[in-house]
Amino acid sequence: MNRLTTTLKVPGMTCGNCARHVGDALRGISGVASAECFVEMRSVKVEWTKGVLPDESRLLSTLKEAGYSSIVAQATAAQKPSWFDAGGWGVNIIVGVAATLPMLIAEWFLGLGADRRYSIVAFGLATVVQVVCGFRFYQGAWIQLRSGNSNMDTLVCLGSTAAYLFSVWGLFAGWHGHSYFMDGAVIITLISIGHFLEARVSIRAESSLRALLNLAPDRARRLGAGGEETEVLVSQLNTGDLLVLRAGDRVPTDSEVLEGHSMVNEATLTGEALPVEKSAGSKVFGGTINESGRLVVRVIALGEETALAQIIQIVRRAQSSRAHIQRLGDRISNVFVPVVIAIALFTAFWWGFFHHQARAVSEFFAVFLWAPHFPESALASAVYHSIAVLIIACPCAMGLATPIAIMAGTNAAARRGILIRDGVALEKSGRITTILFDKTGTLTQGKLVVSGIRVSPDYPKNIPTAEHLAGAIARNSNHPLSKAVAAHSKTNLDLHQFQETRGSGLTAFFKNENQNHEVRLGSIEWILESQPFPDWMTPFLQEHTSRGATVLALGVDGRVIALFALMDALKPRAVETLLELTKASYPLHLVTGDHPQTALALAAQLGIPPHCIHARMRPEGKAELIVKLQVQGERVAFVGDGCNDAPALEQSDLGIAITHASDAAKESADILLLNSDIETIPEALRLAQATLRTIKQNLFWAFFYNAAAIPLAMLGFLSPMLSAVAMGLSDLIIIANALRLRSTKRTSKR
């Protein structure tokens, strides 16, 4: 059963902090698998656990308790948000700039700040800004207040409202001092510009994902029963339909090739520009390009079940996820606003009742800094400087620090065929001390061939040949070793009671001369069950294991009657990749179910020392090895192809799955490499670590900025307007620092 989703409209979700509150509230509901918030669309998409029916009433009541009104969105065609709108902040910018620009000109260039006629005009313009542009801030602050919380909207509202109300009081009370209508309006306008930029980054990230979806065409050529071709909408296709792909066509949806031979460019999914050969039995994926040849394919997946949709879902989930390091910022933000309000009240009290002392302290520091601006009276100073504290301390940069870096890092990785599951995976990558590699399908190509066969001197004459018997039992398994044996000898012997023992081999029975015989294909030790090795096996084992071959035994009734040597070549650049990881100071281990001599031969080619080789490992044994290393204090990354590797991937501190687009939904791995080559592993680790480093830099800058700026505002060195500018600049610095991840140097390929 597919997972069901519910989309909610949340009008009061106006910033990243609101989105985190909404997401946390919904994820706490039993049965909710994930909740993705889209601030620019003011909506949240809830995915329910498999088998759980949607319960919209629980979602709505939970959000109401959290202070947010919401409605269930109707299923409509997705609308692309306009460049200008950016979640509604564009309107704020137009109205805000149109109102504040005349006030800036009047005060800065015409010197009318204390003129009563100007104050009347400024009152009208500022009122428009407060009502139209300030509505979203007041709404956000009220929602937080109702739920007993506070956020940056609270500080913005307090600061701009204090400036506005003080100026209104001065205007109607006949006060002849300077009014602060312009300052209150500029605060809202500048912070709206900051929100606009943040929303634009989110829209750009979402647009890049939407562009991936648009890669798949909306029409396909359906092949009828009589061989006729009909062009239909992809939305009209059903699983099992036959399609025709001509040279140059984009594949409309995930399908299996039935006829033809071609080269398909899968760069949109894997990041690998080299085309992949496709023939009968191969899979092709929506959005990829059929470069040559005609293919007849059968539809195997549609809509959200396609590889492309799964990839996009993983990237979206990662972008909306939270790293553990973000909890530090959240904890600080939760107490930050009340502390800032207390500091602002202290500042107002200090400048209002101890004006001369406060001014003297400020003038003392002015010798080392710059000349501050002092309002005419103690009351004006109290209001002016406390407003500056409220504005400069807005924790917007803290809220942006982590999600903007995760968004940029996961997008950059996805374009290279690297899927990072969530923010926690980024943190794990920065603490890895040891890397374990599975062998088959990970370090090797996974395309095994039978390179040698040795039959027992006393092979029973009353049973089929070794090739036929081994091929018949092997064709029941999807394990790479079994596939190689089955491909070597295609046969249709009648076997029954088939059973696969994970990590050991295959068992079946066949009847001959009214007698049932047990047949086994697998490891020698498993078949012999502690019996001594027959002498005839030793030369064959020594010869082939020294070359790095894997040797399987064929047994009948507990006796080995034949040996099969299987060779699997190393993947291209496997040696260079492991050397690069070694130079980066990562100890490397090889884990395999193969014979120790086979493992030693392979490790010698890869440069892995003998003491880091772990042979004859069953799937559960790999997980136990990881536990042993973790007990020793190691933080372990496990690299596997997903075949029987789920326990190890789950147990490891960082699971890296070498997979293909069709397996993008693997749940055990933290990082998925859609390109089956391992050369992207160093790049994946570097990019993940660069993202983590950027998060730390952003958090440091946000904390340092507030720690340095609040005292300056208290002493009068930052005006409310300059505080708003500085706060906006801090957001820009954090956004620019995060976007550097998009240009992280790619691994060169030879």
Q: How would DSSP label each residue in 579-611?
A: HHHHHTT--EEEE-SS-HHHHHHHHHHHT--GG
Q: Please report the pLDDT score of residue 665 as a whole number.
A: 44
Closest CA to 244 of 212, 236, 232: 232
Query: CA 614 → CA 289, 439, 601, distances in Å?
Result: 41, 11, 13
pLDDT over 60 (residue 206): no
CATH number for the domain spanning 45: value is: 3.30.70.100
**Dihedral sign from CA coordinates of 629, 634, 640, 645:** positive
Alpha-carbon distance values, 37 to 143, 431, 733 (Å) = 17, 29, 24
Alpha carbons 703 and 292: distance in angstroms, whole number: 56
514 by DSSP, 3-state: which? coil
pLDDT at 405: 79
Lowest mean pLDDT segment, chosen from 285-299, 315-329, 336-350: 315-329
Active site residue 438: yes
CA–CA distance, 660 with 259 (Å, rounded to integer): 22
pLDDT higher than threshold 80 for residue 526: yes
- Indicate if the alpha-carbon torsion angle 674, 680, 683, 688 is positive or negative: positive
Report the relative pairing of strands 654-658 and 671-673 from DSSP bridges. parallel
Note whether 429 and 689 are within 8 A (CB).
Answer: yes
Question: Across residues 178-205, what is the average pLDDT?
Answer: 73
Rounded average pLDDT over 507-513 = 84
Amino acid at residue number 39 = V
**pLDDT tens, residue by residue, 422-455:** 777 777 887 889 999 988 778 887 677 888 899 9
Task: Please check whether residue 521 is in contact with residue 482, taking contact to mean a CB–CB distance below 8 angstroms.
Answer: yes
Residue that wins the pLDDT comparison between 261 and 619: 261
User: Which residue, chain included where needed, has tokens 């080619």?
Assistant: 605
Residue 618 domain-assigned? no
Lowest mean pLDDT of 107-111, 235-239, 473-477, name the range.
107-111
| Range of 202-211, 365-374, 551-560, 671-680 with top mean pLDDT | 551-560
Q: With 90 as the cut, is the pLDDT of residue 503 above it?
A: no
SS3 84: coil
> Looking at residue 274, what is its pLDDT?
60
R_g (Cα) of the chain, nearest Å: 33
Q: Which of 372, 399, 392 is nearest to 159 (CA)?
A: 392
Whether 262 is in a domain gets the answer yes
In the Cβ-directed half-sphere of 524, how many Cα atoms lie within 13 Å? 19
Average pLDDT over residues 14-34: 77
Contacts of 35 (CB under 8 A, 6+ apart): 22, 23, 26, 27, 44, 45, 46, 47, 320
- Bigger pLDDT: 668 or 205? 668
If we measure between CA atoms, which residue out of 645, 689, 674 comes closest to residue 436?
645
Q: Report how far apart the first and last C-alpha atoms of the chain are (Å, whole number).
A: 44
Whether residue 294 is predicted with pLDDT greater than 70 in this model: the reply is yes
Please check whether residue 674 lies inside any domain of the structure.
no
* Residue with the larger pLDDT of the pair 519 and 642: 519
pLDDT score, position 625: 92
Task: Report the pLDDT averaged over residues 67-83.
Answer: 57
Q: What is the pLDDT of residues 105-118, one digit of tens each?
A: 887 788 776 677 88
Quick one: average pLDDT of 74-81? 46
Report how many domains make up the chain: 3
Question: Region 186-196: what's the mean pLDDT?
Answer: 77
Catalytic residue among 241, 254, 422, 438: 438
Q: Which pLDDT value is given to residue 88?
A: 64
What's the CA gap between 15 and 89, in Å, rounded? 11
Contact of 615 with 598, CB cutoff 8 Å: yes
In this structure, is residue 152 part of a structural domain? no
pLDDT at 26 over 50: yes
> Which residue, chain included where needed, has tokens 């993940």?
688
CATH of the domain at 458: 3.40.1110.10
The tens digit of pLDDT for each residue in 592-624 reads 877 787 788 888 888 899 889 998 887 778 888
Give the Å distances, CA to CA, from 289 to 191, 251, 273, 297: 45, 6, 11, 14
pLDDT confidence band for 76 (50 / 70 / 90): very low
If one counts every other C-beta atom within 10 angstroms of the C-beta of residue 654, the result is 25
Question: How far is Cα 386 from Cα 390, in angstroms, rounded to an integer?
Answer: 6
**Mean pLDDT across the chain:** 79
In Å, how far are 94, 205, 383, 487, 703 from 347, measured between CA atoms? Answer: 33, 41, 9, 81, 20
- Residue 124 domain-assigned? no
Structure token digits, residue 434: 């040891």
pLDDT of 99 above 60 = yes
Residue 49, pLDDT above cutoff 80? yes
Residue 156 covered by a domain: no
| CA neighbor of 324 nearest in space, from 427, 409, 432, 433 | 427
Rounded Cα–Cα distance for residues 251 and 290 (Å): 7
Boundaries of domain holding 29:
5-72
Is it the case that residue 456 has pLDDT exceeding 70?
Answer: yes
Lowest mean pLDDT among 186-190, 430-434, 495-499, 715-719: 186-190
Please count the other Cβ atoms lying within 10 Å of the Cβ belonging to residue 750: 6
The DSSP code sequence of 387-425 is HHHHHHT-THHHHHHHHHHHHHHHHHHHTTTEEE--HHH
60 contacts: CB under 8 Å, gap ≥ 6: 8, 70, 71, 72
**Higher pLDDT pick, 312 / 587:** 587
- Write phi, then psi, for 520 (nearest 5 degrees): -130, 140
When pLDDT is averaged across residues 627-644 and rounded to a whole number, the result is 85
Q: Enumerate residues 6+ apart whose C-beta is below 8 A from 396.
A: 15, 152, 191, 194, 727, 730, 731
Q: Which of 418, 391, 402, 272 is nearest to 337 (CA)?
A: 391
Tell which of 567, 590, 613 closes a domain: 567
- Report how far residue 620's alpha carbon sits from residue 489's, in angstroms, rounded to the nearest whole number: 31
pLDDT band for 491, please (50, 70, 90 cuts): confident
Q: Among 43, 72, 101, where does a domain finish?
A: 72
Last residue of a domain, one of 567, 583, 617: 567
Contact between residue 695 and residue 402 where contact means Cβ atoms under 8 Å apart:
yes
Q: Is the pLDDT of residue 330 over 60?
A: no
Per-residue pLDDT tens over the stretch 391-404: 777 666 666 677 77
CA angle 677, 681, 685 (to 5 degrees): 165
pLDDT at position 668 is 65
Q: Give how far Cα 616 sits from Cα of 52, 153, 224, Å.
A: 41, 60, 51
| Residues paired with 289 in a beta bridge | 250, 265
pLDDT band at 719 (very low <50, low <70, confident <90, very high): confident
**How many other C-beta atoms can be found within 10 angstroms of the C-beta atom of residue 124?**
10
Residue 749 lies inside a defined structural domain of this protein: no
pLDDT of residue 589: 93
Determine which of 146-160, 274-288, 546-560 has the lowest per-residue pLDDT on average.
Answer: 146-160
Q: Residue 50 falls within a domain, yes or no?
A: yes
